[in-house]
Structure 1
Amino acid sequence: MRFARSKRALRLKTVDSCFQDLKDSRLTEDTFTVDEVTDILDGLKVVVHSEVESELINTTYTNVLFLRQLFCQAEKWYLKLQTDISDLENRELLEQVAEFEKAEFTTAGKKASTEISKLKLAPLNEGGVSELLSKEITRLQEENDKLKARVKTIETQPKIKMQEVSDLETSLAKLRADFEKSLNMSSENQKSLEDNLISTKHDLLKIQEDLLLAEKELEKKFQETAAYRNMKELLTKKNEQVKELRKRLSQYEAGD
């Protein structure tokens, strides 16, 4: 309303200046013939017509740009907007707008402005924007939970393999110590220890092979898809979106 009011006032000043210019430039004699008056009025009509037409065109284009901004925002939230052209010529609604302008821009109308300002736009649906934000937050939280679970699974797999290797190395070290202590034992006992040691070494080699294959497979997946880094980045972005939406939701709830 402030923008439209300032543009209207500026254009009216321009129209007033057209009349003033006419007075200063043409009305210099005491009497005029009918043809002279007709010529003066025709010239004034052309100037005023041009000014009014220019303002109407500019107002139309300005409204188009304003509506385009609203439509772009609605498209972002997948909203379906409906318009009723008949309301644009509703005298009662037009008078309400006039009362609103009068109340906003005149000192005497401040009390009326308080009453008019209570009028709110109807919500887009039953829940309005708050419901849309809540649904979007819920959806993002669900995606975050899934990403966290996948990241945790990937991080856990290498830890399990490393723990298995650590346990086997501990067992091997213990067997070596026992073997060294039993050097003076009977050959039968020594043979048993040697068999256990060989069996343990075989188990260790097999686990190391499995671990190496698993590490190569994980490394191949990471090199081909960069899944881990992408999930980390995506998780961070989703968290930022949740924070932003929570902030916006709190603003709407505070307004309600």
Structure 2
Amino acid sequence: MAELGLNEHHQTEVVSYMRFARSKRALRLKTVNSCFQELKESRLVDETFTMDEVSEMLDGLQVVVHSEVESELINTAHTNVLLLRQLFSQAEKWYLKLQTDISELENRALLEQVAEFEKAEFTSSNMKGNPETHKPRLAPLNEGGSLELLNKEIARLLEENEKLRARLRTIESQATSALDEKSKLEKALKDVQKIQGDQKANFKAQEINELEKTVLALKTEFEKSLHDSNVNKKCLEENLVSSKHDLLRVQEQLSLAEKELDRKFQQTAAYRNMKDMLTKKNDQIKELRKKLSKYEPEN
């Protein structure tokens, strides 16, 4: 017997739906046949018909057949929707989400497989008789099969929950180890910072001592330079005073020497002669001026 790749229960459900579809299809075919039979009995009573009469009869038959076929197609589509609704509703009670592939509905290979399955199934069914009285139904949720499925789902969830708990314990252990490692690193960092702080303090103290020594040396040198400068200044002042005294003494001696020289020069004969000559010359100049004044015209 041809198979559809389903388990026995689902394959039985498919056979049940196909039986329902076959009965609906047979009923619609009977309706279409009755349309043709009615046309034969009601209109085909004369031996000859005109073209217009034949065309009118065919148009009327087309309308009736079109209506019947359209009604059957619409009813089939709605029936399929109701079937899908049953399946989806049952799946939603188990929190499942089913998916359909519309493109597979036109797969010729699958359609031929279904046709072979239908042919084989209903050929054997006709040989065995009508099994309508043994038609199975979808198992209710409170029956054994559903309860077993529920128990399996609960067991799966419990197992998954246990795995999550184990993973959580592992993560907590890793987190604890990480926190311990972090504490150790923080302590080590503080120790290093403390050592660096002590080293910096020692370095600063040493640097301050060196600066103090340098400042003290500069201060000592400055004081020595200042003392030497004061000593030199005092010596210079003393030398200046002594030089001033020497200068005054020399100036005084020079003045006395000039006076003595002048006195001695005045006592010489040449000085006296020169003085007499200058006196005579002055007298002569005065006399000449008087004479000249007599000859000058009066203004």
Which TM-score band applies after superposition, normalised by the shorter structure? 0.3 to 0.5
Who wins on radius of gyration, i.e. which is larger? 2
Q: TM-score, normalised by structure 1?
A: 0.44
